[in-house]
Chain A
Amino acid sequence: MDSSAILVEIPRLRRYARALLGNRAAADDLVQDTLERAWARFGQWRAGSDLRAWLFSIMHNLRVDQLRRRGAATQAIDDDDGLLSTRPTQSDALEVRDIESALGQLPDEQREVLLLVSLEEMSYADVALTLAIPVGTVMSRLSRGRERLRMIMAGQPPAARLRVVR
């Protein structure tokens, strides 16, 4: 790993962490933890492989550990569009159209995928690698996340089931 390559990735890690956590200080703490863990494990990184995906996967694993320590539910919720592990927001009816507060109302798993695709513009396959989940799961989380966000922004409670286009 060389320093200039890492330096290029730090702003991207910050942007993602801020969008994920909705809190600037907590986001920078997560970035710091990510970089420290990356250096502690730099022997695991193979020269020539995708540094960005590797750093994002470290951040993802740290985040999962954090939620686990806090006792928050982190089991997969793909079959149940429940309200598990959404992050706290101060949203009220007036703010509901605000994309930032709407984002905060998504389950963690959906928010991660949505942000890696939307902000990072990662391919679906890279998102699957980064999060260590199958591509099918990436697509279902993306689909649920986008639809849920749309319903929240439209001021409607999220639909229990998504219509499937035939």
Chain B
Amino acid sequence: MSNYPISENDLHAYVDAVLPAVKEADVAAYLAAHPDTAERVLAYQAQKLALAALFNPALDEALPQNLHALALPPPEVRAESGFMARRSLQRIAAGVLLVLVGGAAGWLAQGQYQAAASIARLSPLARQAAVAHAVFSPDLRRPVEVGAEHEDQLVAWLSKRMGRSIRPPRLGPLGFEMIGGRLLPGNSEPVAQFMYQDAAGQRLTLYVSTENTANQETAFRFAQEGKVNVFYWIDGEFGYALSASIAKDQLARVATAVYDQIEHK
């Protein structure tokens, strides 16, 4: 760990995953030692995910006719084409230059690139799964996008969006019934989240991702993010993470059942 202090800006760059790998590891170490700050950072990560889940569906909506038409220049612009307001162009150029000079000075000059997963203290898979669990499992009104009563539709929809066949395991014998699932934004590809609930209302989520799984096979790993316990592993082209606020040994039994069903499907 380096001796440089961790700044507020570093925490935000960590949330936005734009820190250089070494610095990201420093922040992760700092967070491990400072639970209050770690909780704050987790809340920021949860905000980001909740905003994406709330507003990303707007991207898939059909465009209203008036907006679609504006992808083409309106007739009056076509008639005047070639016209150019030089003076305001120069003003904009001057403004852009000023901002560029200001922006280049700071720590941002280090640029942005994705940190190597191996260096981050907590694996991105476990972290993202824990955040997704923290965001959606307490939601009483709409914990899932598609309910278990439409399981066929859910499976078809998630498989289509993930580009691979994906099927939720059955955890009834362990006391957890599926209540449904949702699609979430990953870093580059969508990820699926299945949610289960036991008779006491305790919720458990299974996060299934196809990101960063190439040529990696891992055994079970355990992580803790705030109050959320996570078992995660990579199997073939899928990364799985099972999250719940239940005891580690109970979660391990469920994780084993999930693993067995996927292996013997």
Contacts and interface: CB of A to CB of B under 8 A. Distances in A.
Contacts of B37: 165
Nearest to B84: A43
B233 to A, nearest CB: 28
Contacts of A129: 96, 99-100, 103
B5 A166 contact: yes
Given A43-B85, A150-B44, A135 B92 contact: no
Contacts of B47: 99, 118, 146, 149-150, 153
Chain A interface, >50% SS class: helix
Interface residues on B, range: 35 or more
B200 interface: no
A123 B74 contact: no
A3 B52 CA distance: 27
Contacts, number: 138
B88 interface: yes
Contact of A165 (B7, B64, B84, B89): B7
Contact of B67 (A31, A118, A119): A31
Nearest to A136: B106
Contact of A103 (B12, B51, B61, B99): B51
Contact of B56 (A15, A132, A143): A15
B71 interface: yes
Contacts of B68: 7, 10
Interface stretch (A32-40, A63-71, A73-81, A84-92): A32-40
Contacts of B5: 165-166
A135 B106 contact: yes
A23 interface: no
A162 B77 contact: no
A147 B68 CA distance: 37
Interface residues on A, range: 35 or more
Interface string B40-61: 1001100110111011101111
Contacts of B83: 43
A149 B44 CA distance: 9
Given A28-B67, A129-B100, A136-B106, A14 B58 contact: yes
B6 A165 contact: yes
Interface string B82-112: 1111001100100110011011001010001
B70 interface: yes
Contacts of B12: 139, 142-143, 146
Given A128-B99, A143-B12, A153-B43, A10 B71 contact: yes
Interface string B134-152: 0000000000000000000
24 contacts: A10-B71, A11-B58, A11-B60, A11-B61, A14-B63, A15-B56, A18-B58, A28-B64, A36-B74, A39-B74, A43-B85, A44-B84, A44-B89, A99-B47, A100-B54, A114-B51, A118-B47, A118-B48, A123-B112, A139-B8, A139-B9, A150-B47, A164-B8, A165-B34
Give the 9 A-B CB pairs with smallest separation, nearest first. A43-B84, A35-B70, A15-B58, A7-B71, A135-B103, A134-B102, A125-B103, A118-B48, A150-B43
